[in-house]
Structure 1
């Protein structure tokens, strides 16, 4: 039987609470937690630590997914990009300026859209939204 992991969208209000939920669900039994990083989320889905063994088939049940979509939408994404553009930020400012410009034009991805894209890149993960 395929492993099932349940994310509770009612607990997601912003980017830090999204990673808090991931740590609650995926990292039980680990002596460390994921940072607030899209790369960390991607690595988590490959498995080998946390709740997923390497490339094992998993159904990711996302309760209240629409609430998460709204919580990780335009405003949160805009703030995320703006933080990457702060003067002391070590990130590629040109890259994030382009992302912010696209978002402001209504052409860019929200943080939620990026998460869905990452999930889709993992053939072992089946996403099952529950509204």
Structure 2
């Protein structure tokens, strides 16, 4: 079994868009396309079918300065992320987006960082280390 170690440093980005730019810098340099800002794309990436993860059976993600990322990709960033989706009613399910915003405002919704961690945790072949 081959293992890939990915080191993400929260000091290298401050926004959701910056997170994807960092993933593209770290993992997609040999591809002729880049990941967009998409939780589904992030989840697909973790299956290891493309980018630098291609061919690896296991992945270790070491997320340095994860507390900073938790703040940067926290409540405010997540609300902004969903509010931007409301500007594109033809592309996004508005009822779903409104529910996500309401959940966040009531304290029961997940931040973008928490969703990323949840996605990572759903992959049994991935070990996550938060530093």
What TM bracket, shorter-length normalisation? over 0.9
Question: What TM-score, normalized to structure 1?
Answer: 0.93
**What are the superposed Cα offsets for residues 18-74 of structure 1, whole Å, 9 maximum, x if unpaired?**
001111111121121100111110000011101213561110011111110000000
- Note closer, same or farther for the CA distance 1:123–1:54 as it changes in structure 2 (3 Å cut): farther
Gaps of 5+ in 1: none
1:40 aligned residue: 41
Please state if 1:9 is matched with 2:5: no
Q: Report matched runs for 1:62-77 at 5 Å.
A: 62-77=63-78
Judged with a 3 Å threshold, the aligned counterparts in structure 2 of structure 1 residues 3 and 100 are, in CA distance, closer, same or farther, namely same
Conserved 8 A contact 2:4-2:56? no
**TM-score under structure 2 normalisation?**
0.93
Name the SS of the counterpart of 1:69 in structure 2. helix
Question: 4+ residue runs of structure 1 moved beyond 6 angstroms?
Answer: none
Indicate conservation of the 8 Å contact 1:9/1:67, yes or no. yes
Gap runs ≥5 in structure 2 = none
